[in-house]
A and B are shown apart, each in its own frame.
Chain A
Amino acid sequence: MKPSGNILFCGVGGQGILLASEITAFALLECGLDAKKSEVHGMAQRGGSVVAHLRYGKKVYSPLIDPGQADYLVAFETMEAVRYLPFLHQGSKVIVNTHQIPPPAVATGKMVYPADLLSRLTSLNISVYPLDGFSIAKQVGEIRTANLVLVGALSTFLPVEEELFLEVLKKRIPRKIEENIAAFREGRKITA
């Protein structure tokens, strides 16, 4: 039987979520799997909460992941990981960038950024893999590779060989390929 799964990518508009989900989709397709991805463009891209659904398997019908059906959540921002909790199930794996971006109500002092957010997930039997994408990206020498750290961390769970993933990166990433691969490898270390 061919493997199947549902990956939800979430974060804040402008964080590079579309590229991360695109690369993951390519890697899965290269394995001979069917895949569908659903994105939302337009209004939400102005700094709002953004989500992309990626589903793979032998044959994919619905482009949307149902509530309670996301096997993996790749969150580019901490609070956003918690926003999509209703999509998760016991046993979901959550890769979360510990970076925090205050939403308008927090930035203007009307609300506070909740503390202890990730314990909400772990207390529900969800495995959480926090990582500081920006520090790692800085270490590898290119601040814009934080999304590849997240993809790297996700990749160890997917039915894709590391070599194949690297081939996809080389083909699909236009610039700074060395740094992107380094970021991807650092990400893998976190979940390996």
Chain B
Amino acid sequence: MTKVSSKNKQWLSGNEAIARAAWEAGVTVASGYPGTPSTEILENLCTYKDVYAEWAPNEKVALEVGLGASFAGARVLVTMKHVGLNVAADPLFTASYTGVRGGIVIITADDPEMHSSQNEQDNRHYAYAAKLPMLEPSDPAEAMEMLKQAFAISEEFDTPVLFRTTTRVAHVKGMVAIGKRKKGQVPVAIEKMPAKFVMLPGNARMRRRSIAERMGKLASFVETFAANRIDKGDKKLGFITGGVSYLYVKEAFPKAAVLKIATTWPLPFKLIRDFAAQVDEVVVVEELDPFLETHIKAAGIACTGKDKIPAMGELNPFIIKKALGQETGEIFAPVDIPPRPPNMCPGCPHRGLFYNLAKYDVFIAGDIGCYTLGFLPPLSAMDSCVCMGASIGVAHGMDKALGEAARGKTVAVIGDSTFIHSGITGLINMVYNKSMSTVIILDNRITAMTGHQANPASGSTIMGEPANAIDLTELCRAIGVRHVRTVNPHDIKECKKVLTEEIDRPEPSVIISLAPCVLLPEERKRPKMPLTTLVDNCTGCGTCVHLGCPAISWMPLTPAEAKKLGKKEKQKGYARISMEMCNGCGQCLAVCKFKAIGKAEEKK
């Protein structure tokens, strides 16, 4: 019986299972950068005894930290979301050459369907391109088993191992068998191995041969690796699949023969060939790109796949059945109702800044974080968003393209965590190459979007221990920005004054918009003074509604209702503040010209 309370099984998410598995595998060092759907791995792992875990400023640093720890002999886990691996790609490709001492596993958490991402790149290609083994579990229970195997593979074959999850593995919960912690086999010590660790051309050429040797050995290993397995069944249609797609296939075609691939790279080609010979027709079912299909075809094995299965977004059993011409039944048509996109919280400091910024005739090069929601109406205050850190380069590039006409026309907005992640080099470029652009750092003291992780400007570590907090003003000054101003984004008037001065400045300047995220534990504890609309004074001008605060609602009025309230018949409505939701930030009070917003009683 699978009881939740059972001693050797626990109800865990994929991410919780990975954290537990890393601990059981004897990991002693872990580094990563937050990113959905990978974030909870380190948040869990840091609570285990005898593991050092840290948030790095970005994924490249995280992987380099991981390499150093591995070179010292420790078992290491490095975590990031799919786009994070782009940032870490530079060390990744050469780590393939150096190999490891202690086992190192790199988690890439992909996000098909882009639930929380700017693209849905398929990181299986990295395994092929960097010549590294990659494992892919289907659910939390498998994540537990396979992560431990990944460490063994890393040490046995002297290679970093890529471990790919997707949203429907990372954020799925299921029962997981748990075990005891084992110690890593490699002694932790400084051992100088220059031929292996110093990748100058001479050494690198030697190591390039080691890679070929290693991948050859791995190619035979995966043929008998038990997690690559065949579920016997009806031989008309044989499926080749891996990751969460395996579960969808089992659900959609419970009786079919299935070859489940756990080692996405290298592939067990002999096993695949044998399987293909046993069935009449082979269909490859995989999310996103035809990765398995392309490599299977290249090996001369006939199969189909993406001619029927969608190459975009997530799959599910329904989509697979439909693609393969199975009966799916009638589905109720969706009802046309207003959409419900995410929104910044009531009292979010970012809102005050964007409310002002929206009024300038400028190109707002945006970045990634909660503040990206400033793009949505009614604020509609963002004109581009590409990848973390891009705002500053984009603003500067636009500034150079516009030439003389650029003065007062370009602004970059970037969060504190994003600025540290990859904005600093952009700012150095702006100063060095004489931009006229303005950079606004939205400093809410935390990495909010991904669930409030501390960063090097927050003043604490992942464990909540006190740490140095970067002085962003001093940092910008040291880079050579002569005008660095700090504003309180809730102070709408002051904010406007500073924006006007700095945007017009014909040299790079930085505005630090400083106020804490309202969801920080300290902020939640603070007693709130909610505001309320004084309906008698409200003229229905709609100014406060334009803040887009979720606590403010427009209440439409018919002429008769308006008259009844003692208003002009042509007044179309009034604003109402929900006391339950209001955070008392005062932004609406500051924008109302009719004294129609005032204090309600204190809320605990």
Binding site for B on A (CB under 8 A): 12-13, 25-26, 29-30, 32-49, 60-64, 66-69, 79-80, 82-83, 85-86, 88-89, 102-114, 117, 120, 124
Contact = CB atoms under 8 A, between A and B. Distances in A.
Contacts of B37: 41-42
A168 to B, nearest CB: 8
Interface string B4-32: 11000001010000000000000000000
Given A48-B341, A64-B316, A80-B340, A43 B378 contact: no
Given A40-B115, A46-B343, A79 B175 contact: no
B550 A104 contact: yes
16 contacts: A32-B1, A36-B139, A39-B13, A39-B173, A41-B451, A43-B342, A46-B344, A47-B550, A49-B340, A64-B168, A83-B334, A83-B335, A104-B340, A105-B377, A108-B546, A111-B338
Contact of B339 (A68, A103, A113, A114): A103
A13 B344 CA distance: 11
B553 A62 contact: no
B139 A68 contact: no
B186 to A, nearest CB: 35
B329 interface: yes
Given A30-B4, A62-B248, A85-B332, A109 B554 contact: yes
Nearest to A79: B337
Contact of B338 (A36, A39, A62, A103): A103
A-B pairs with lowest CB-CB distance, top 5 = A42-B116, A42-B36, A109-B554, A48-B342, A46-B342
Contact of A66 (B173, B316, B451): B316
A125 B3 CA distance: 36
Interface in B87-134: 115-116
Contacts of B345: 46-47
Find the residue from B37, B173, B175, B247 having the highest chain A CB count within 10 A: B173
B52 interface: no
Given A82-B335, A83-B337, A104-B341, 10 more contacts: A26-B11, A44-B115, A48-B341, A61-B248, A62-B316, A63-B172, A68-B331, A106-B338, A108-B378, A108-B546
A63 B251 CA distance: 10
A88 B334 CA distance: 11
B372 to A, nearest CB: 9
Given A66-B318, A79-B337, A107 B552 contact: yes
Contacts of A67: 318, 331
B171 interface: yes
A104 B343 contact: yes
A44 B37 CA distance: 12
A107 B545 contact: yes
Contacts of B328: 68
Contacts of B332: 68, 85-86, 88-89, 124
A23 to B, nearest CB: 11
A39 B171 contact: yes
Given A29-B11, A37-B172, A68-B329, A42 B247 contact: no
Contacts of A83: 334-335, 337, 340
A63 B341 contact: no
Contact of B370 (A12, A46, A49, A124): A46
Contacts of A45: 342, 451
A41 B36 contact: yes
Nearest to B448: A46
B247 A32 contact: no
A30 B342 CA distance: 35
A110 to B, nearest CB: 8
Contacts of B573: 109
A180 to B, nearest CB: 18
Nearest to B174: A36
A32 B3 contact: yes
A107 B168 CA distance: 33
A29 B172 contact: no
A115 B168 CA distance: 35
B330 A68 contact: yes
B244 A63 contact: yes
Contact of B3 (A30, A49, A112): A30
B171 A46 contact: no
A45 B448 CA distance: 11
B317 A62 contact: yes
B526 to A, nearest CB: 18
Contacts of A37: 172-174
Nearest to A110: B377
Given A64-B316, A85-B335, A104-B341, A42 B550 contact: no
B582 to A, nearest CB: 13
A63 B139 CA distance: 9
Nearest to A143: B580
A28 B36 CA distance: 28
Contacts of B310: none
B2 A32 contact: yes
A38 B340 contact: no
B450 interface: yes
Contacts of B334: 83, 85-86
B583 interface: no
A166 to B, nearest CB: 15
B168 A38 contact: yes
A32 B6 CA distance: 11
B172 A38 contact: yes
Contacts of B378: 104, 108
Nearest to A44: B342
Contact of B545 (A35, A80, A108): A108
Contacts of A104: 340-341, 343, 376-378, 548, 550
A79 B167 contact: no
A36 B169 CA distance: 11
B329 to A, nearest CB: 6
A67 B550 CA distance: 31
B552 to A, nearest CB: 7
B337 A82 contact: yes
